[in-house]
Amino acid sequence: MPYFLGIDTSNYTTSCAIYDSDTDMVIHRKKLLPVKKGELGLRQSDAVFHHTVQLPELMRELFDGFDGEISAIGVSDAPMRAEGS
């Protein structure tokens, strides 16, 4: 059964997911960063700090009870390539 791990970090959230290609099911976990109301995300250094704290916790939750084997890992490397992103 092919499983795929996805990881995304942004100025607003830390996210991770496992995709099961046989069943087309996704298990995901995400946590918002502490962005103040009205602000446009966090400074990069602040976001990195929060991601390094949040990602291990989210991965533990995601993999709790998971007994499959991950076939590939995908990560985001930039914001969406869309105007306004």
Q: Parse the chain into domains and list their residue ranges.
A: 3-75
Distance of CA 69 to the CA centre of its chain: 19
Q: Stretch 31-49: mean pLDDT, rounded?
A: 87
| Residue listed under structure tokens 């993999």 | 63
Q: Stretch 74-83: mean pLDDT, rounded?
A: 83
Of the ranges 15-19, 33-37, 39-43, 50-54, which one carries the lowest mean pLDDT score? 39-43
- pTM of this structure: 0.83
Distances (CA, A) of 47 to 9, 14, 35, 44: 9, 9, 9, 5
* 3-state DSSP assignment of residue 43: coil
For 11-32, what is each residue's pLDDT tens digit?
Answer: 889 999 999 999 999 999 999 9
Fold of 3-75: Nucleotidyltransferase; domain 5 (3.30.420)
Can you give the pLDDT at residue 85?
62
pLDDT-based confidence at residue 41 (cuts at 50, 70, 90): confident
How far apart (Å, rounded) are the C-alpha atoms in residues 35 and 15? Answer: 15
